[in-house]
């Protein structure tokens, strides 16, 4: 049984269908890369799974239990955590205070305490910054704080929406190692959206490609850009499928 499933998810905004029946399965300990051109429905899908948006049709289940009608706090306590495209941190609180907030969503309230917060700060390289106000930190560290706060809840599934956005090459390399550590050390499956193909290809067990609210590919990362429909979705023209993944732009270009 998959850890997290979203089945036939439909989401409409007025007369626009943002998601037209999308299925997602995230297995235990898996990293699933969710990719696609701008406007393909990636963030909308994560918003539906995490409870930020209500689905118009479809079902969401975690650990075999339906959470489609559950509010965000209940989903968090059930074992689902997420981050956002722009870090949503408590800017005027310290790093430690931000991470401590995550304890309120722990499934096992008995595991709360200072020790778990200190351990999380050390693991994410935030120990020496714990007393600093988050707004004073570089952007990359603010992202780490948001991830640390999510992990403080000890989730079974972590949804990351563009965690590499705004990071430089060194910070992105650190993020790649961090995601692999999260999977191995925290017993946590990860669904990650990002436009950095090097990151996605190096951390994902599988990738799922969306285009115009539909899934057009699910499979091994190495196979994704060997598919003509995936390349066309990104580049808007019948480009050669042997083109290097790292050179592909993720913003939609006009179709011929």
Q: What is the pLDDT of residues 171-219, one digit of tens each?
A: 899 889 989 888 888 889 999 999 999 999 999 999 999 999 999 999 9
Residue 100: pLDDT over 60: yes
Domain that holds residue 42: 1-79+157-256
Q: How many CA atoms lie within 13 A of 150 on its CB side?
A: 29
Element (H, E) at 232: helix 228-235
At 255 the pLDDT is 41
pLDDT (mean) for 213-238: 89
Q: Which residues contact 247 (CB under 8 A, 6 or more apart)?
A: none
CATH of residue 74:
3.40.50.300
pLDDT (mean) for 29-55: 96
End of a domain among 154, 185, 204? Answer: 154
The pLDDT > 90 percentage for the chain reads 66
Query: Strand order of the sheet with strand 57-62?
Result: 16-26, 4-13, 57-62, 65-66
Write out pLDDT tens, residues 128-163. 999 999 999 998 899 999 999 998 888 999 999 999
Kindly list the distances between the CA atom of residue 95 and the CA atoms of 57, 117, 136, 181, in Å, as whole numbers in the listed order. Answer: 39, 10, 10, 20
End of a domain among 107, 126, 154? Answer: 154
How many domains, the chain? 2
Helices (H) and strands (E) in the chain, counts: 9, 10
| Residue 242 vs residue 232, higher pLDDT | 232
End of a domain among 102, 126, 154? Answer: 154
Write out pLDDT tens, residues 4-39. 999 999 999 999 999 999 999 999 999 999 999 999
At 112 the pLDDT is 53
Q: Are both 243 and 126 inside the same structural domain?
A: no
């Amino acid at each position: 049984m998959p850890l997290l499933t979203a089945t036939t998810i439909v989401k409409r905004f007025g007369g626009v269908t943002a998601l037209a029946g999308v299925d997602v399965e995230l297995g235990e300990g898996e990293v699933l890369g969710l990719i696609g051109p701008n406007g393909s429905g990636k963030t909308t899908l994560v918003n539906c799974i995490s409870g930020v948006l209500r689905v118009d049709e479809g079902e969401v289940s975690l650990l075999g239990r339906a959470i489609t009608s559950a509010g965000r706090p209940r989903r968090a306590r059930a074992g689902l955590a997420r981050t956002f495209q722009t870090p949503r941190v408590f800017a005027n609180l310290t790093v430690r205070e931000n991470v401590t907030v995550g304890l309120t969503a722990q499934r096992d309230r008995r595991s709360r305490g200072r020790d778990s917060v200190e351990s999380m700060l050390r693991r994410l390289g935030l120990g020496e910054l714990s007393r600093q106000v988050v707004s004073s930190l570089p952007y990359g560290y603010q992202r780490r704080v948001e991830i640390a706060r999510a992990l403080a809840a000890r989730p079974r599934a972590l949804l990351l929406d563009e965690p590499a956005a705004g990071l430089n090459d060194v910070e992105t390399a650190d993020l790649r190692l961090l995601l692999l550590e999260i999977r191995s050390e925290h017993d946590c499956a990860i669904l990650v959206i990002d436009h950095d193909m090097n990151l996605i290809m190096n951390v994902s067990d599988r990738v799922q490609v969306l285009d115009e609210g539909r899934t057009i590919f699910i499979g091994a990362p190495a196979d994704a850009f060997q598919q003509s429909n995936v390349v066309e979705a990104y580049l808007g023209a019948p480009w050669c499928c042997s083109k290097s993944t790292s050179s592909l732009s993720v913003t939609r270009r006009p179709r011929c």
